[in-house]
Amino acid sequence: MKKIIVSVCSAAILASVGLAGAEGTSAQKAPEDFATKKANILQRMDEREKVMAQKRQEVRACVEAAKSNEDLRVCRHKMRAGHEEGKERFREKMEQRKQQQ
């Protein structure tokens, strides 16, 4: 009977040590993964802001150069075409992410 109790206690201790070790490794990875994720998000935000500023300047220059309503329509069509291209790129990125998972 003592052997059974000692075996059960030993198994419980080994299991708890294993779980504590597993929690320690996941806790160590979490801040590193978070920092990497945060840096990636900030980098993408910066890139997007640059692209948006560039597009805004292009549209502004087009509107400033417009001499008629037709010219303004052309500017609007250029702007909308840029939106459609952005939507398509977004859809492609989402498909790539789904395939990677």
Could you read off the pLDDT of 60-82 as tens digits, one per residue? Answer: 999 999 999 999 999 888 888 87
The reply to whether the predicted model has a pTM over 0.85 is no
Residue 101 host element (H or E): none
Listed in sequence order, the DSSP H helices in 1-101 are 2-65, 69-100
Q: How far apart are CA 92 and CA 81, in angstroms?
A: 17
Q: How far apart are CA 98 and CA 14, in angstroms?
A: 39
| Tokens coding 27 | 């806790």
Tell me, what's the pLDDT at 31? 67
Q: How far apart are CA 75 and CA 61, in angstroms?
A: 9
